[in-house]
Structure 1
Amino acid sequence: MEAWIAEAKALLAELVAVPSVSAEGRALREGAEKVAEVLEGLGLRAELHEGYGPPVVFAEGGEGERTLLFYNHYDVQPPDPLELWETDPFVLAEREGAWYGRGAHDDKGELVARVVALRRFQEKHGFLPRVRFVVEGEEEVGSPHLEAYVADKRDLLKAEAILWEAGGVDAKGRPYLYAGLKGIVALELRVRTAAFDLHSSYGTVVENPIYRLSRALASLRDEEGRVLIPGFYAKVRPLTPLEMEVLAEIPDESEALREAFGVRDFLGGARNLDFNQRLYAEPCVNFNGFHAGYGGPGSKTVLPAEARAKLDFRLVPDQDPEEVPELLRRHLEAQGFHDVEVVVLEKGERPARSDLAHPFVALARRALEEAFGERPVLYPNMAGSGPMHPFLHHLKAPAVGLGVGYPGSRVHSPNEHIRIRDFERGVRALLRLLELFFLGR
Structure 2
Amino acid sequence: MRPFLDEAKDLLARLVALPTVSAEGRALEEGAEAVAEVLEGLGLRAEVVLGYGAPVVLAEGGEGERRLLFYNHYDVQPPDPLELWESDPFALTERGGAWYGRGTYDDKGELLARVMALRLFREAHGFLPRVAFVVEGEEEVGSPHLGGFVADFAERLRSEATLWESGGVDAQDRPTAYAGLKGILAVELRARTAAYDLHSSYGAVVENPLYRLARALASLRDEEGRVLIPGFYDRVRPLTLAEREAIDEIPDESEELRQAFGVPGFLGGVRGAEFYEKLLAEPCVNINGVHGGYGGPGSKTVLPAFAFAKLDFRLVPDQDPEEVLGLLWRHLEAQGFHDLEVVPLEAGERPARSDLTHPFFGLVRRALEEAHGKKPVLYPNMAGSGPMHPFLHHLKAPAVGIGVGYPGSRVHSPNEHIRVADFQRGTLAILRLLELFFLGR
C-alpha separation between the residues in 1 aligned to 2:21 and 2:212? 38
* Alignment of structure 1 residues 334-345 onto 2, 5 Å: 334-345=334-345
Matched residue, 2:241: 241
By how many angstroms is 1:307 displaced? Answer: 1.0
What is the rounded CA distance, in whole Å, between the counterparts of 1:21 and 1:393 in structure 2? 28
- Alignment match, 2:252: 252
Q: Write the mapping of 1:225-240 to structure 2, written as runs, cut at 5 A.
A: 225-240=225-240
Q: Once the 2 structures are TM-superposed, how far is the Cα of residue 374 of structure 1 from its aligned partner?
A: 1.2
Q: Following the alignment from structure 1 to structure 2, what is the Cα–Cα distance between the partners of residues 115 and 182? A: 27
Aligned to 2:321: 321
* Equivalence for 1:155: 155
Confirm or deny that 1:58 pairs with 2:95. Answer: no
Q: Equivalent residues in 2 for 1:132-151 (5 A)?
A: 132-151=132-151
Measure, in 2, the Cα distance between the counterparts of 1:321 and 1:308: 21
Residue matched to 2:83: 83
Aligned residue pairs, count:
441
Give the whole-Å Cα distance in 2 for the aligned partners of 1:411 and 1:348.
Answer: 22
Partner of 1:106: 106
For residues 19-418 of structure 1, the aligned pairs below 5 Å read 19-418=19-418
CA deviation after TM superposition for structure 1 residue 157, in Å: 0.5
Q: Deviations over 1:59-109 (max 9, x none)?
A: 011000000000000000001111111111000000000000000000000
Deviation track 1:384-415 (CA, whole Å, cap 9, x = no partner) reads 00000000000001000000000100000000
Aligned partners of 1:335 and 1:413: how far apart in 2? 39
1:362, distance to aligned residue in structure 2 (A): 1.1
Structure 1 Cα separation of the partners of residues 204 and 349 of structure 2: 44
Post-superposition Cα deviations, 1:269-319, rounded to whole Å, max 9, x if no partner, equal: 110111000001000000000001000000000000011000000000000
Deviation for aligned residue 1:2:
1.0
Alpha-carbon distance between aligned partners in 2 of 1:214 and 1:309, rounded to the nearest angstrom? 9
Alignment partner of 1:429 is 2:429: yes
Deviation at 1:9, TM superposition (A): 0.4
Q: Secondary structure at the match of 1:228?
A: coil
Cα RMSD (Å) = 0.5
Residue identity opposite 2:239 in structure 1:
L
* Counterpart residue identity of residue 415, structure 1: N
For normalisation by structure 1, the TM-score amounts to: 1.00
Deviation of the 1:241 alpha carbon: 1.0
Unmatched segments (≥5 aa) in structure 2: none
Q: Counterpart amino acid of 2:194? A: A
Supply the AA of the counterpart residue of 1:186. Answer: A
SS in 2 for 1:300: coil
Shift of 1:27: 0.2
- Deviations, residues 214-273 of structure 1 (Å, cap 9, x unaligned): 000000000000000000000000101111111000011110000000011100111011
SS, match of residue 186 in structure 1: strand
Q: Distance in 1 between matches of 2:255 and 2:343?
A: 37
- Report the residue type matching 1:322 in the other structure: E
- What is the aligned-residue identity percentage? 78
Provide, for residues 5-42 of structure 1, a one-character-per-residue CA deviation record: whole Å limited to 9, x for no partner: 01000010000011100000000000000000000000
Distance 1:337 1:52 in 2: 37
SS at match of 1:71: strand
The CA distance in 2 between the partners of 1:386 and 1:156, in whole Å, is 22
Structure 1's unaligned 5+ residue stretches are: none
For 2:48, what is the secondary structure of its paired residue? strand
Partner-residue secondary structure (3-state), 1:323: helix
